[in-house]
Amino acid sequence: MTKEIITPIFQFGTSRFLQAHAALFVHEALPADDAVGPITVVAISGSVSGRARLQALARDEGYPVVVRGLERGERVEHEIAVKSIRRALDAEGDWPLLAKLFAEQAEFVVSNTTEAGLTIPSDLVVDLTHARGPAPAGYPAKLLVLLAHRFAVSAKLVVMLPTELVPRNGDTLKDALIALARRSGASDALLSFIADDCVFANSLVDRIVSSAIEPAGAIAEPYALWAIEKQARLRLPCRHPAIALVEDLEHIERLKLHILNLGHTVLAQCWMTDGLRPDLTVGEILQLDRYRNLLTEVYGSEVIPGFKARGLEQEATAYVGTTIERFDNPFLDHRLSDIAAGHPTKVQRRIGGFLQWVPEERRRQSPSLEGVLAAVH
């Protein structure tokens, strides 16, 4: 008799990011019994390309993740066969089976559905008893029906770990589900189950996953972070060196936004202003002394002093060192033309937001950043 597969982790999304992030962490934790168990991965959209990737993710031999880059100044390159995914389902084609397994086995939900994936139309209403199908459209609607079915079957709590890059992503997902549940006529008991019993964690993820390997797999940098904000009843699907439980995500978000992302935007402004080669990458521009010196000066004279004024000098100094090492990754083809997409909005959030965050006297001592901000007006 074939042993039943038990997967307490349900991963919604098949992106190369999750392949080289959460699923990889679980894979590395399983041999030491530091993970609750393997993963069921769920393709949400039902696309043809997604189905091809889906089957490859659950192969017995695993899928490859190649880690390439610099780590503490040394070049590293190694390949990992990730075997944490034991079942692959298509939400559209396998909906009744997904609903059954989710009700019986799910303890954790990990998702990465793009920032827009957590939004729902303001007039959407779903049938909360539709666990037999067809699947509702969109990730939040699917998750709500799955939670409603789990509530009916066992009412056991689930820990939600969204990794979408939106502020307070756990709160955002929770609010979307509750609003949709109320509009869809949910009972007070179901609303209480979602709002009070289940756990929605706010988290921030960080890893550059530069390219995909077909049909499944990814190439990623060595650096990885999954920062998760502490709260009551929060459990984690695994223990891993890249997972950090923190009291407050804000300073981590500030470090990423106002150092790594800000640095990218400063370099993109240089690329546009000076009319540099269209396919120039971050690594290549930093091989030119003029631009490396400029970025180093911005970090040393404007950014780190701003963080110092907020009591975060030590953290900012360490993060700048890590960021420069990541920018110097010889294996990463991160084009400035890609970074420059949506440049005015990025300048306002990354640079304008920094200048608004620091004390006024520090803002007056940030001529380079003020210059980039003025250039987009």
Digit-coded pLDDT (tens) for 148-160: 999 999 999 999 9
Judged against a pLDDT cut of 80, whether residue 7 lies above it is answered with: yes
pLDDT band at 134 (very low <50, low <70, confident <90, very high): confident
Cα 236–chain centre separation:
16
pLDDT value, residue 113? 87
Ramachandran area for residue 24 (φ above 0: left; ψ -120 to 50: alpha; else beta): alpha
Average pLDDT, the chain: 93
Give the confidence band of 48 by pLDDT, cuts at 50, 70, 90.
low
Instruction: Check residue 139 and give its pLDDT.
Output: 94
Least confident of 188-197, 332-341, 347-356: 332-341
- Among 28-42, 70-84, 116-130, 271-285, the range scoring the smallest mean pLDDT is 116-130
Tens digits of residue pLDDT in 276-327: 999 999 999 999 999 999 999 999 999 999 999 999 999 999 999 999 999 9
Q: Which pLDDT score, from 0 to 100, does residue 65 have?
A: 98
Q: Give residue 72's pLDDT.
A: 86
Confidence of residue 363 (pLDDT cuts 50, 70, 90): confident
Residues 6+ apart with CB under 8 A from 247: 229, 230
Range list of H helices, 229-303: 250-255, 262-273, 282-285, 289-298
pLDDT 10s digits, 227-279: 999 999 999 999 999 999 999 999 999 999 999 999 999 999 999 999 999 99
Parallel, antiparallel or unpaired: strands 199-200 and 159-162: parallel
Rg (CA), the chain: 22
Output the pLDDT for position 49.
Answer: 63
Share of the chain above pLDDT 90, in %: 81
> DSSP H helical segments within the chain, as ranges?
16-19, 22-29, 48-57, 95-105, 139-153, 169-183, 188-192, 250-255, 262-273, 282-285, 289-298, 304-309, 313-327, 336-339, 343-346, 353-357, 360-363, 367-375
| CATH number assigned to the domain covering 9-246 | 3.40.50.720
Residue 1 has pLDDT above 50, yes or no: no
- The arithmetic mean of pLDDT across residues 213-220, rounded, is 95
The CA distances from residue 139 to 90, 103, 112, 162, 268, in Å, are 12, 17, 10, 11, 34
Predicted local confidence at residue 46, as pLDDT: 65
* Model pTM score: 0.89
The neighbouring-strand residues paired with 335 are 281
CA distance 369 to 376: 12
Residue 376 banded pLDDT, cuts 50, 70, 90? confident
Domain spans in the chain, listed from the N-terminal domain onward: 9-246, 250-375
Higher pLDDT among residues 255 and 120, named by residue: 255
Single out the residue of 138, 219, 224, 243 nearest to residue 184, CA to CA: 138
**Percent with pLDDT over 70 in the chain:** 98
**DSSP calls for 236-253:** -SB--TTEEEES-SHHHH
* Residue 371 pLDDT > 50: yes
Mean pLDDT of 3-24: 94
Confirm if 374 and 273 have CB atoms less than 8 A apart. Answer: no
pLDDT band at 3 (very low <50, low <70, confident <90, very high): low
**Does residue 341 have a pLDDT over 70?**
yes
Which amino acid type is present at position 238?
C
Q: What is the mean pLDDT of residues 61-72?
A: 94
Question: In this predicted structure, what is the pLDDT of residue 337?
Answer: 94
116 or 269, which is more confident: 269
Question: Count of H helices and E strands in the chain?
Answer: 18, 13
State the pLDDT confidence band at 123, using cuts at 50, 70 and 90. Answer: confident
Buried b (16+ CB within 10 A) or exposed e, 314-353: ebbbebbebbbbbbbbebbebbbeebbeebeebbebbbbb
The string of DSSP letters for 152-199 reads HHT----EEEE--SSTTHHHHHHHHHHHHHHHTT--HHHHHIIIIISE
